[in-house]
Chain A
Amino acid sequence: MRNFSFSRFMFWAGLTFLYLPMFILVIYSFNESRLVTVWAGWSTKWYGELFQDTQIMGAVKRSLEVAFLSATSAVFFGMLSSWAMVRIAKFRGKTLFGGMITAPLVMPDVIIGLSLLLLFVAFTQLTGWPRERGMLTIWIAHTTFGMAYATVVISSRLREMDASIEEAAMDLGAPPLKVFFAITLPLIAPAVASAWLLAFTLSLDDVVIASFVTGPGATTLPIEVLSSVRRGVSPKINVLASLIIFAVSMVTFTVWYVSRRLEKNRQKAMADDFLIE
């Protein structure tokens, strides 16, 4: 199996390519020197400096806020549209709906950003709402593309799920909302959680769309980072990057570990049941 070993080699080479730059970035975040590429000994000095930087810390707080709110609303809309796409066989405009829910996955950011901004400007001109652009308009933009990703994640789980349990409950006279909360939601909960995390990280990461639709006083973290990076490489950005990489890895591996444990327990429980029978 020559083929097999070649692909193995490519896999590890590819992983090295993906991780090496991030690894070097993390190491250099502990560099004493202000000059980012010259090594001057280990130090956590820049970590302290980052937490002193009120401008960056303010942007972090705003970004977390908007990511939390837009992930929550994206998951809400994502559940509705997954239900519509998977469980409702036919409705008027389903083709259009399906197109509108997949297009944001690939549509270039500059187009989404520009078009939403022009929409907000037209709205303000006609109705006076939104009065100014800022957190609200970023939330709307992030909800819109977040729900597209949430729909992909949730609908694939919903598709795997056996619809006959829901139908049985309905036949026994349970109202639809009760069926949803008692049966569907617990079963799709892991997918809902990962959809929320995905929408959260996407919102936290977006720079282009936010740059278009933001207004005075609503600088999110990526906008702050972009303007700082344009001025050149800076040790504080290295620190920030390392903290983000660290946080994402921690959350990812925790989620992975917990879900693996849950899956193992479930399989064990099923095997036990089988033995008892």
Chain B
Amino acid sequence: MKLSRLRRWSGETLVVGIPMVWLLVFFLMPFIIVAKISLAQSAVSIPPYTAMFEWADSRLAVIFDLSSYVWLTEDTLYFDAYVNSIKIAFFSTLICLMIGYPMAYAIARAPAANQPLWLLLVLLPSWTSFLIRIYAWIGLLKNNGLINNFLMWIGIIDDPIQMLHTPFAVYLGIVYAYLPFMILPLYANLVKHDQSLLEAASDLGAKAFTIFTRITLPLSKNGMVAGSMLVFIPVVGEYVIPELLGGNSTVMIGKVLWQEFFNNRDWSVAAALAAIMVAILIIPIMLFHRYEQKTLEEEAQ
């Protein structure tokens, strides 16, 4: 009896312990180090930042150097980049929701035998390369690209419209790339709705629109939150899309961070930018986690 309990205990400890240690070391600890390096100053050394602890004349000095954070307030570029990223993420999430909701609804109401294939068709693009799907738009949006060539050929316009390297291109790219992530949780939610509820409402004389706004929409709240967070959070830190489609027209924080790190080689400013970004995103991330848990609890019932 005792032996089996011991064996069970050690088994569970390993099952929990192995992934737990991995995540603590390679997911949580990096954030602590980011926080630490954001409180250093960039220096000409290897690695290129000053030490936090200094030992001299039997005195241990712990230095919290706030110069990186001060630097971020001195140039409006950074503040604008944060605001702009949140703005772009917010509106593109909204557009994804408006396009993705009817699509998810159509799949959830399709004959049950067709649903797996339809869902597969929506998700398939997201399994091909993200980079390449963004790249495809460069060839379409360029001044001498396919869309402009086509419009000039049929005679609607005489001169090419500047589309690449505009905010429009960034929105387009984000919606294009993130749409499947909105549809998946929405579908998972909509497909579980009790059909008899809708039939009852319809029998009692409710119009299709009323049924939708009074029953379907409120019931799908969890799906909408999950899908929106799945789009909003990663888009705030998006790098590839503003880099390839936005050019100099759009300043987003992910791109600014990348440039601070790779071009200016200022590691502590990059770390400070990341720390602030995590602070901004921590509430949406917790919201996402909470709704995930909620959905699971509902399923368990």
Contacts and interface: CB of A to CB of B under 8 A. Distances in A.
Are A and B bound to each other? yes
A121 B47 contact: yes
A109 B237 contact: yes
Nearest to B26: A144
Given A100-B27, A118-B33, A144-B27, A83 B15 contact: yes
B50 interface: no
B283 to A, nearest CB: 12
B19 A147 contact: yes
Interface stretch (A20-28, A41-49, A53-61, A269-277): A20-28
A81 interface: yes
B106 A7 contact: yes
A11 B27 contact: no
Given A3-B209, A84-B15, A106-B230, A37 B130 contact: no
B59 to A, nearest CB: 22
A24 B137 CA distance: 10
B18 A77 contact: yes
A11 B118 contact: yes
Majority DSSP secondary structure for residues of B touching A: helix
Interface in A1-44: 1-4, 6-8, 10-11, 14-15, 17-19, 21-22, 24-25, 28, 36-37
Interface residues of A, number: 87
Contacts, number: 248
Contacts of B146: 24, 37
A255 B24 CA distance: 35
B129 A111 contact: no
A80 B160 CA distance: 56
Interface residues of B, number: 95
A245 B146 CA distance: 20
A115 interface: yes
Interface stretch (A128-136, A161-169, A185-193, A201-209): A201-209
Contacts of B292: 102
A50 interface: no
Contacts of B120: 252, 256
Given A22-B133, A91-B12, A144-B26, A11 B106 contact: yes
A103 B129 CA distance: 22
Given A110-B237, A159-B296, A176-B11, 14 more contacts: A7-B102, A14-B103, A18-B179, A22-B133, A36-B139, A37-B146, A98-B293, A101-B19, A107-B285, A211-B262, A229-B131, A245-B128, A248-B127, A249-B128
